[in-house]
Structure 1
Amino acid sequence: MFLKTAKLCIKKSTGCMIYMLNDYDYIVITDHGYINGGLAKVVVSQILELSIGRNKKILLVTGSKKLAPELSNNNVDHLVIGKGDYLTRSNSVDGALNGIFDLSVALKLRKILKACITDDTKVLVHGWSKSLSPSIFLSLRSYTDRTFYWNHDYFMHCPNGGFFDYKIKKSCKESAVSFRCLVRNCDSRSYLIKVWRILRFFAFRLARGKCSEIAVTNASLNVINEFSYFESISVINNPIDLIKKDRIHSEKNDYVVVVGRPSPEKGVAELLELLSKIDFRRKIVVIGAEESDFGNKKLQNLNLECCGWLGRHDVEKIMAKARYLFFPSLWYETQGLVVTEAIAMGVPVICANVNCGMEALGKYKAGMLYDPYELDSLSETIKLFESNDNVKSCSERGYRLYWSMPENINRHVDQVVKICQ
């Protein structure tokens, strides 16, 4: 057991815990300490700005060992309290049970918090569903006045994390763990996994205290409030990692870009099928999927190029020649960073009217909405963007409005610091 006067530090070469005085300004808790998606990218950017830009001392607590190289600086200590993602462990039974409630994780976190928290320390929780489990909230109950949880997804409000029915590929309107929710087979894998998620959700509700929540858009806050209202939710937009360059002259470009992995909730396959039905003639560049992902779809009449996942430099090269971007996601999302990123480059967006990417379109007036389940809606929207004048108008307006107040990491961390005061 740690002494109350001791502070915990991590010897980075061995990962061993040693005792020494070390006051932390922020303790950041999340599943992964390396960039493997949008959530982790936000976490890494936030820690870098706090530790280097603001000279704050950070303790990063994760459920997996891998650490982003850029986080190896003198103001960041890293401690691993988990054994990696639950659903990919070799012992699936052990992974499933610990995913519902991992007592070992709870006890380790409890010791860390007792040893490291001072009167001024704030706790920022970004993710727990992959490798930490709801057990962390039991350890955090004594520190609810200083704990802030980011809703990068909806796992605090929905068992499957998305208010999305993967079987019918539409958003779900049921209240979490209501009778209709319990009997609905909405999981992407099977109803057995749905039962597991329900058990985990009950464990979460029993463990959680009244920590303050952060939504990343007003649109995602509206989704949360529709199903499970909480008064203590603030909004902090995720940072956009872009350097200002000249506007992309989209009106002079020919091909269009689609971004999204080939999973049901992202709506990429459904969009391509609709485009095939209306005999869409422009070249379509798909970032995030391979052609083999659509092997059983009738897309032969489309001029399709699939690139898989690309690095930032390659994405920017493709976007520089894009006329507009499709964002076809069928689930609510929480923000849809790619929408704002495209607008900031000067690329207009055609966005499905069921996801939170709509907020950026409304804010920057740089695109059009369509109904992803209606062929005519998509067709009419595309016709409007055949006009160079319409494309240019959206491109110029969005670019100007975004850069008048960019959503960069400095602004993001300013909001974090303000809310944590």
Structure 2
Amino acid sequence: MHPPLSEGIRSTAGAGRRFSGPRAAKIDRVVVIDDYSVARGGATGLAVMSAKLFRGLGIPVTYICGDDAANAELAALGVSMVGLNSRDLLSAERTKAFVTGIHNGAAVRMVANWIAEKDTANTVYHVHGWHQILSPAIFRALAPVAGRCMVHAHDFFTACPNGAFFDYQAQEICRRRPLGGGCIATACDKRSYAHKLWRVARGSNILRLLKGQADFGRIILLHKKMASFLVGAGYRPDRLTTIRNPVAPLSIKRIEAEANDEFVFIGRLDEEKGVEDAVAATRKAGVRLCVIGDGPLMPRVAASGDHVRAVGWQSHEEIGPTIRKARALLMPSRYPEPFGLVAIEAARSGLPVIMSRSAFLAEEMERAGMAVACDTADESAFAESLTRFSQMPRQEVRAMSERAFRLSPDLASTHEEWRDALLAEYHSLISTNAVFEPADGAVIQGVFS
């Protein structure tokens, strides 16, 4: 049985085209907002997926993004595409990136003009990603429709200047109050203190324009453990709602992990994801590692030794065949991983997971007998866990694999459940007037709460 899809701070009922009880007014349109229109995982993947799922119900969708809006699949589904035709901060000229990362005036005009021309009382807005192109400035443009706007916290940028509540210099989780004196004085950025101060300027904008504006509808969390971090940053608990991400298995057929000896890492090749820790620990343990993903650390990972097989970025469909020879997934995130989508995707395919204790899913996955949690930042402790797992009797690995395959769906939602939970939130935002739709199709006025 699935756990509640919305949990912790605020409870959300299911939603959909037909309700068993009171129903809110009809949604005129959903406006999905993200930096990108084409996904390579993460927030954009969910933004694009939501557009597809809403179109599947016949709901009009507009997709506003910072890039060139060249997603042919969404366009073919009838999604209205609106793009800024801009580049992300890492690709833009440095001086321009410095300015637009804090306040992108072009993004403000794009969103404000769309609202002025096409907004209706029953149009809802859902922001997924903003910090790579659009900047916090979009919340200024969204202020007139704040009460019908939801913000998805796929990470911690809604509260923490570096987006992770992680001190990259000390390599430890940070509990300082965001933008407090201790925060501003700490050189926690992975690049430099000057870059930290730039992020402080941007962070002050997001807290002023989002946290400081109580009219903004809801902030969606991926896991209830995120709430304490946002409340500590000053967000009111009643603004936070937890809806767990939807998960599809990487392989429909159970991977026979007990027959394999290679470990696998899937994700962005960046410091906070801990890929260097995985490389070092597997070397120390004398086991093989397959690395799937791309990012700044790719050259270093590819040259890290014969025990590493770096295959680059792969689509969801391509990953399945690649991991059929895997014994377990490694998820050694150094920061408090808000959800760890790949951990559940792997578990649903029958792969046990060896993961950081700081990951929000670690406790429940270990308790269910489908994962091993350890201090992955400690090379010796991580290597010891890998050695034990590589030497674990075949029948024990098989039992973990079967538990993961059978029980992991309880840790997430299906795509339809996720869609309906979002729709329930949208309906609650746009109207206090509702209709009840009995089985015979009669419509009765009611109140939605």
- Normalised by the length of structure 2, the TM-score is 0.80
| Alpha-carbon separation, structure 2, partners of 1:328 and 1:263 | 12
8 Å Cα contact 1:220-1:335 kept in structure 2: no
8 Å Cα contact 1:82-1:132 kept in structure 2: no
Q: For residues 291 and 147 of structure 1, do their structure 2 counterparts lie closer, same or farther at Cα, with a shift above 3 Å needed?
A: closer
Q: For residues 291 and 264 of structure 1, do their structure 2 counterparts lie closer, same or farther at Cα, with a shift above 3 Å needed?
A: closer
Query: Which position in structure 2 is the counterpart of 1:96?
Result: 98
**How is 1:146-157 mapped onto 2 (pairs within 5 angstroms)?**
146-157=148-159
State the 1:415 CA deviation. Answer: 0.8
Higher relative contact order (CA 8 A, sep 6+): 2
| Alpha-carbon separation, structure 2, partners of 1:142 and 1:360 | 41
The alignment partner of 2:142 has SS state of helix
Query: Which position in structure 2 is the counterpart of 1:282?
Result: 287
Aligned length in residues: 392
Percent of residue pairs bearing the same amino acid type: 26
| Alpha-carbon separation, structure 2, partners of 1:333 and 1:56 | 33
8 Å Cα contact 1:215-1:236 kept in structure 2: yes
Structure 1, unaligned stretches of length 5 or more?
1-22
**How is 1:129-278 mapped onto 2 (pairs within 5 angstroms)?**
129-208=131-210, 209-210=213-214, 211=216, 212-231=218-237, 232-242=239-249, 245-277=252-284
Query: Which position in structure 1 is the counterpart of 2:49?
Result: 45
8 Å Cα contact 1:169-1:265 kept in structure 2: no
1:316 aligns with 2:323: no
Q: For residues 414 and 381 of structure 1, do their structure 2 counterparts lie closer, same or farther at Cα, with a shift above 3 Å needed?
A: same
The alignment partner of 1:88 has SS state of coil
| Alpha-carbon separation, structure 2, partners of 1:405 and 1:155 | 24
Q: For residues 60 and 292 of structure 1, do their structure 2 counterparts lie closer, same or farther at Cα, with a shift above 3 Å needed?
A: closer
1:57 aligns with 2:60: yes
Q: Deviations over 1:122-146 (max 9, x none)?
A: 1101111111111111122222221
8 Å Cα contact 1:81-1:109 kept in structure 2: no
- Residue 126 of structure 2 aligns with an amino acid whose one-letter code is L
State the 1:226 CA deviation. Answer: 4.5
- Normalised by the length of structure 1, the TM-score is 0.85
Structure 2, unaligned stretches of length 5 or more?
1-26, 428-449
- Residue 263 of structure 1 aligns with an amino acid whose one-letter code is D
The alignment partner of 1:133 has SS state of coil
State the 1:65 CA deviation. Answer: 0.8
The alignment partner of 2:101 has SS state of helix
State the 1:378 CA deviation. Answer: 2.7
Q: Deviations over 1:69-101 (max 9, x none)?
A: 2111353101124633244323x3233222212
Q: Deviations over 1:14-71 (max 9, x none)?
A: xxxxxxxxx94101111111113311111111110111x2111011111111422211
Q: For residues 362 and 75 of structure 1, do their structure 2 counterparts lie closer, same or farther at Cα, with a shift above 3 Å needed?
A: farther
| Alpha-carbon separation, structure 2, partners of 1:59 and 1:363 | 42
| Alpha-carbon separation, structure 2, partners of 1:217 and 1:58 | 26
Give the CA RMSD over aligned residues: 2.5
The alignment partner of 1:407 has SS state of coil
Q: Deviations over 1:202-230 (max 9, x none)?
A: 22233232321001122333443454443
